[in-house]
Structure 1
Amino acid sequence: MASSSIYVRNLGKGERSVLALHCTIAHSGAWAGLASCIGTQATFVAPDMLSHGMSPDWDGQSDFFDLTTALSAAQLTQPMDLIGHSFGAMIALRLAVEHPNLVRSVVLIEPVFFAVAAQDAPDLLAQHDMAAQPYVEALKAGDMPLAARLFNRMWSTDDSPRWPDMPEKTRAAMIRGIRVVPDVEQSLFQDTKGLLKPEALLGAKAPVLLMAGGNSHPVMPAIARGLQRRLPNASKVTVESAGHMLPISHPRETAAQITSFWQSLQSSSV
């Protein structure tokens, strides 16, 4: 599928070219706050995943992880910095592994690589699975509105907008996107793409910043710690006051960490 088949939004006008990959049931506009806080340092190239935003629907047959990775890779027309959030962070990690020559640096915000926790913190993964069970059951029953509502609630914090208070357009977009979740489950939980093979991660030589929210589910910092140990050039920071949605809920704090990371790369190259 050609890259022209997805919608791509450009945010900012800075010299640094950034490929920004959003989370499941969001869209490329979710990066607007972060891009604004980063200001004139960067231009965000932000695609909408299929079945999200202004991109067309996923066909329901293709491997969603493979297809989304390919469509995102098509945006790497030059060496770029990557920022990915949640499932978007999984795409960013895969691009760093598969296209190292086109990746200058990577920011992985709360990557949902549950296979890491399966190896490192199975008790925390079990807690996650128990918390996720309601939306998993809704997906199995084909109740997409309930699944989207429960999925959104699980990854939100207490001060996040409640489902009834959201605009109907926002709720409809989340319902549209939730159907991709079952197709990526094996990749995230069982590493069917082989990203945890030592030779795979060692090939991701670009500097990596792993970001976690202090109020996110406990499995998430465990995943970040596990990836930090496995990647050849990775550091980790926590935004203590934030949850899983930190680039949206805490754009200033997220921007401060990212720009500090970029500055450290410039300093080390001098």
Structure 2
Amino acid sequence: MSGFARRWGDGPREVLALHCSLAHSGAWEGVVRALGPGLRVTAPDILGHGRAPDIDPGRDLHDQCYEAVLPHLPEGRFDAVGHSFGATLALRLAEEMPERVRSLTLIEPVLFAAAQGSGVYRPYRALISRYERLLADGDRKAAAQEFLRLWGADGGLDDMPEAQQRYMIDRIHFIKASDDALFHDSAGLVPRLGQVRAPTLLVQGGDCLPVTAAIIDRMEREIADTTRISVPGAGHMVPITHPVPVAGAIADLFARSG
């Protein structure tokens, strides 16, 4: 089963958009509206999110999420846009099918393995350990609060409507399940960064965590054709909180990538 996908527009240019962990495909609404006409955007729910089936704990997480995205790929060439965990899936598409991916947009990518060797990797592992302890103790709400304190928008879990809180608490195990993919690079993405041929946009929030900046530093060094922007006043949830500048940068990338 490959699950559900939202679609916007009927333009000639095909775009695939992959959301972050604990969200769903509707998270792209603001960016899509700001991009305007001329596009056909497909945004699948990643496994374990929205209307997609749950993850299989017995399988590599990145493999199964990637495989579930494949049935939603547009025909022919397309632009791949990803946020956070979704950015790691978009990167994998660009590495594994370079002839299909016209351009690549990576928004706050969380491929932590790319930051290994930097001065911020170990401090981040220590920072996230409180979330991991809370989850191991079975306190899912406190684990979600701690995780969103680091990675969510202002206000965190407590400022969200009750239904949205429950949605995130119910899926908080996905974060720990992604460790092999993000910290240990189970898909082998980091060694293949230099193989990305698509023009690539790297987006970070101006208030991003240091580990995110280190990841993007590595990608900027090793991917041949990159443009990097920082959105002032934004954090990790920049495509949701600041869709207009993100869409403007994506539109510029589309204009120069044919």
- Give the TM-score normalised by structure 2: 0.93
1: distance between equivalents of 2:66 and 2:53? Answer: 16
Work out the CA distance in 2 between the residues paired with 1:16 and 1:24. 26
Shift of 1:230: 1.0
Q: Kindly indicate whether residue 155 of structure 2 is the aligned counterpart of residue 161 of structure 1.
A: yes
CA distance in 1, matches of 2:166, 2:53: 15
1:53, distance to aligned residue in structure 2 (A): 1.0
Alignment of 1:54-73 (within 5 A): 54-73=51-70
**Structure 1 residue runs of 4 or more that deviate by more than 4 Å after TM superposition:** none
| 120, 124, 139: which one aligns with 2:120 | 124
The reply on whether 1:145 has 2:134 as its aligned counterpart is no
Report the counterpart of residue 91 of structure 1 in structure 2.
Answer: 89
Shift of residue 150 of structure 1?
1.5
How far apart, in 2, do the equivalents of 1:100 and 1:42 lie?
21
Distance, in Å, in 2 between the alignment partners of 1:17 and 1:165 is: 35
Gaps of 5+ in 2: none
Residues in 2 aligned to 1:31 and 1:46: alpha-carbon distance in whole angstroms: 8
Distance in structure 1 (CA, Å) of the matches to 2:55 and 2:185: 22
Aligned equivalent of 1:48: 45
CA contact (8 A) 1:12 1:36 kept: no
- The residue aligned with 1:191 is 185
Q: Which residue of 1 aligns with 2:234?
A: 242
What percent of counterpart residues are identical?
39
Which amino acid in the other structure matches residue 54 of structure 2? D
Partners of 2:218 and 2:66 in 1: how far apart?
A: 22
Bigger share in helix: 1
Q: What letter is aligned with 2:96?
A: E
CA distance in 2, matches of 1:109, 1:230: 17
Checking the alignment, whether the CA contact within 8 Å between 2:201 and 2:253 is kept in structure 1 is yes
Gaps in structure 1 of 5+ consecutive residues: none
Alignment length, in residue pairs?
257
C-alpha RMSD over aligned residues: 1.6
**Correspondence for 2:78 among 73, 77, 80:** 80
TM-score under structure 1 length normalisation: 0.90
CA distance in structure 1 between the aligned counterparts of 2:121 and 2:17, rounded to whole angstroms: 27
